[in-house]
């Protein structure tokens, strides 16, 4: 069973209905480490060695964050800048993350329809996430499509529960083994039909 590290960064977590639901769904899954950057590092003074040890002890890295200005909140960018060191994560002898999997889990206020060539954001969410994809590839990791919750301001209670269940099922599916080849057809990992099952075994 693969070990999953959730790198979570949300500066206004207490105001986010959807992220509260998503995070709560992780609580009872064995083999999952929930790592809240804003809780641990309010001063942005990241413990490099602690973070690298955490990465070394997990098989799958999830960057879970709201979609801030087509990217991530500043503390997550700080984490990437500090932790993914040259000669450790990439470059000569920099193979500490090689073979691990990585993906983004994002929440966005805009609907899925506005993230396309015809929408007012002009580009897809996947296109905006290319820097994360390239970061993973540079570190020798396998990058999977994102899990994305869009239109968050208009979600009903039923919608929140649906996405929470999908996220829970996704983490369990990742632990069992999910390859890039298996999800190559997916724009978002939400598109995997089995994630909507009540319980994924």
Q: For 46-55, what is each residue's pLDDT tens digit?
A: 999 999 999 9
pLDDT digits (tens, 9 = 90+) for 49-106: 999 999 999 999 999 999 999 999 999 999 999 999 999 999 999 999 999 999 999 9
* d(C-alpha 102, C-alpha 143), whole Å: 5
Q: What residue segments make up the domains of the chain, in order of their start? A: 4-196
> Is the per-residue pLDDT at 45 higher than 90?
yes
pLDDT in tens, 119-159: 999 999 999 999 999 999 999 999 999 999 999 999 999 99
Least confident piece of the model among 32-36, 116-120, 172-176:
116-120
Output the pLDDT for position 201.
43
Query: From the CB of residue 118, how many other CB atoms can be counted at a distance below 10 Å?
Result: 7
**Mutual orientation of helices 48-56 and 74-83 as an angle, nearest 10°?**
80
CA 4 to CA 9: how far, in whole Å? 16
Architecture of domain 4-196: 3-Layer(aba) Sandwich (3.40)
Q: What is the pLDDT of residues 152-178, one digit of tens each?
A: 999 999 999 999 999 999 999 999 999
- Taking the C-alpha atoms of residue 29 and residue 25, their distance in angstroms, rounded to an integer, is 8
Burial class (CB in 10 A: 0-12, 13-18, 19+), 103: buried
- H/E stretch holding 64 reads strand 60-66
Looking at residue 104, the DSSP 8-state letter turns out to be E
């Amino acid at each position: 069973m693969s070990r999953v590290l959730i790198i979570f960064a949300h500066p206004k977590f207490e105001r986010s209905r959807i992220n509260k639901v998503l995070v709560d769904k992780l609580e009872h899954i064995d083999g999952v480490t929930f790592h809240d950057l804003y809780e641990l590092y309010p001063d942005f003074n990241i413990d490099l060695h602690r973070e690298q040890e955490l990465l070394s002890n997990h098989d799958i890295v999830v960057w879970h964050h709201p979609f801030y200005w087509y990217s991530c909140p500043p503390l997550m960018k700080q984490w990437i800048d500090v932790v993914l060191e040259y000669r450790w994560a990439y470059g000569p002898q920099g193979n500490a993350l090689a073979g691990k999997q990585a993906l983004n889990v994002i929440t966005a206020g805009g609907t899925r329809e506005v993230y396309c060539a015809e929408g007012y954001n002009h580009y897809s969410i996947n296109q905006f996430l290319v820097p994360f994809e390239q970061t993973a590839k540079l570190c020798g990791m396998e990058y999977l499509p994102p899990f994305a919750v869009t239109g968050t301001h208009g979600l009903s209670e039923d919608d929140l529960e649906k996405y929470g269940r999908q996220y829970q099922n996704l983490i369990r599916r990742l632990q069992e083994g999910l390859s890039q080849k298996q999800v190559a057809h997916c724009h978002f990992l939400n598109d995997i039909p089995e994630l909507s099952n009540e319980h994924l075994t």
